Amino acid sequence: MTDSEIRFPSLGDAIAGRLTTGVVKGAVALLLAWIITLFIDVDMAFDRIAVALVLAFVLSEIAGAVIERPIVLRDRRPNPGGFAYVFLPFTASIVISFVASYALHRSISASAVVTAAVAICNLAELLWMKSWIPGPTPEEEQATIDEFTAMTKEHFADDVEEIKRGARERTRDRYYKKKARDEAKAQKRKGDGKRTR
């Protein structure tokens, strides 16, 4: 496929996608942070930690999309895999989480809780999605789509033919019924015209 035929999501779409998954990860991170605060004494109320966590997630997800974008475009794959694609956004999320939460509340212990929650969630996502393994190329994706389309046409060919045949019969029946009605009306008008004379 040529570069003009390949359509990668825009940076805005990539950021929106990262923020959408960040909502799920953020909920899990809030739960993790709450559990961590049960075992570690933190010199701050949990609601302030939650605010720092939300800010850290928003900033780290946006930064992750911005960092991934050049790698995606360079390798011409939506999921290029590799060390840089996986660990640069992961490392940036850890650094951004710590810096953002510390700048917000000036508390090392609260920043450590926020950073640990973000790191655990991102690591779990990284291991679950196996992001280091390269995804399919655009050509492979198009071949899969073409194969699926051909399989679907083959599988449903009988059903499609049955539907078309039924539609043709209904159309033909409607045409002949309308023609019969029109002829009956014409005969009736003819008959009414003879009676008036």
Q: What is the pLDDT of residues 119-177, one digit of tens each?
A: 999 999 888 988 888 877 778 888 888 899 888 888 888 888 889 898 999 999 899 89
State whether 34 and 95 are in the same domain. yes
pTM: 0.66
Instruction: Tell me how many domains the chain contains.
Output: 2
Write out the residue range of the structural domain in which residue 84 sits. 11-135
Q: Is 106 exposed, middle or buried (0-12, 13-18, 19+ CB in 10 A)?
A: exposed
Last residue of one domain, picked from the residues 135, 157, 182? 135
pLDDT digits (tens, 9 = 90+) for 45-98: 888 888 988 998 899 999 988 998 888 888 777 777 778 888 888 999 999 999
Check whether 6 has a pLDDT greater than 80: no
For the chain, what is the radius of gyration of the CA atoms?
A: 32
